[in-house]
Amino acid sequence: MNEQVIKINGISKSFALDKSKSVNILKNISFSAYSNEFISIVGPSGSGKSTLLKCISGLLKPTKGTININSVDPYLLSPSKVAKMRRTEIGFIFQSYNLVPALPVFENIVLPLRLSGKKISKTNIEKLLNSMNFSADLENFVNTLSGGERQKVAIARVLVTNAKIIFADEPTGAVDESSKRLIFKILRKLAGSGVCVIMVTHDIDLASKTDRSLILKDGKLIKILNRPNSAELLEEMEKG
């Protein structure tokens, strides 16, 4: 039986525009996620997808509602305990990569392992990068890489931690079609091995290959589709 690893209850998120005005980005969203599950979050640009991912992963505190990761509310933890949770339990693949420009490829990937005092295997890292068709040298600095290659480094940095929950914000957005298929295959395999993967994507074809799709519109969760297909996803997204 799959274990519930995330429970979201009535979360909303607003940002102040000035002293008297605010904008509501997320509106009363609730859902649960389980181990061994691959969830996609889809919706038009500006619907709140990335904001939702940051809220449920412990990176951005919601204005209202509660979030539990493995029965713990990350927003009630001390900064050191939150940092430990991020090193040991969850991984976040950022759309903007969040790499360290001053470090070469290899050191960017092993940084979370060094911080956790875990064993580092260069052979395993090379094998992982090869599985994503990564072609640059491990000693190259990341700011010399293309966007697609940087994305692969960012993904590898998360995968080496063996996190049981992975949040991915447009993980295939910067890569070519061949790499996109390889990266999706890796995430799909992880979900099959017991990891909970939650992915924001604009790619309807990829979303149709996940276990469930959460469809956002104007900050609201308008539909959850089980075993979605492309036609269903497009139909729901086009509804008023």
Q: Is residue 153 part of a domain?
A: yes
Domain hosting residue 189, numbered range: 36-48+78-238
**CB within 8 A of 3, min separation 6: which ones?**
34, 35
Q: Is the pLDDT of residue 88 over 60?
A: yes
Q: Is residue 19 part of a domain?
A: no
Q: Please state whether the predicted TM-score (pTM) of the whole model is above 0.85.
A: yes
The Cβ of residue 147 has, within 10 Å, a number of other Cβ atoms equal to: 10
- Digit-coded pLDDT (tens) for 98-128: 999 999 999 999 999 998 888 999 999 999 9
Q: Is residue 191 part of a domain?
A: yes
User: pLDDT band for position 239 (50/70/90)?
Assistant: confident
Q: Is residue 164 part of a domain?
A: yes
Rounded Cα distance, 56 and 74, in Å: 9
Task: State the chain's mean pLDDT as an integer.
Answer: 93
Q: Is residue 44 part of a domain?
A: yes
Q: Is the pLDDT of residue 206 over 60?
A: yes
Mean pLDDT computed over 187-216: 96
- pLDDT on residue 1: 65
Burial of 197 (0-12, 13-18, 19+ CB in 10 A): buried
User: pLDDT band for position 70 (50/70/90)?
Assistant: very high
User: pLDDT band for position 179 (50/70/90)?
Assistant: confident
Q: Is residue 29 part of a domain?
A: no
Which residue type sits at 222? I
Q: Is residue 109 part of a domain?
A: yes
Which tokens in the block code for residue 132? 């994503």
- pLDDT on residue 66: 96
Q: Is residue 106 part of a domain?
A: yes
CA atoms within 13 A on the CB side of 197: 32
Which tokens in the block code for residue 222? 């308008």
Burial of 82 (0-12, 13-18, 19+ CB in 10 A): middle
In this structure, what is the dihedral angle of CA atoms 6, 55, 107, 117, given to the nearest 10 degrees?
Answer: -50
Q: What is the CATH number of the domain that holds 177?
A: 3.40.50.300
| Structural domains counted in the chain | 1
Which residues share a beta bridge with 214? 41, 224
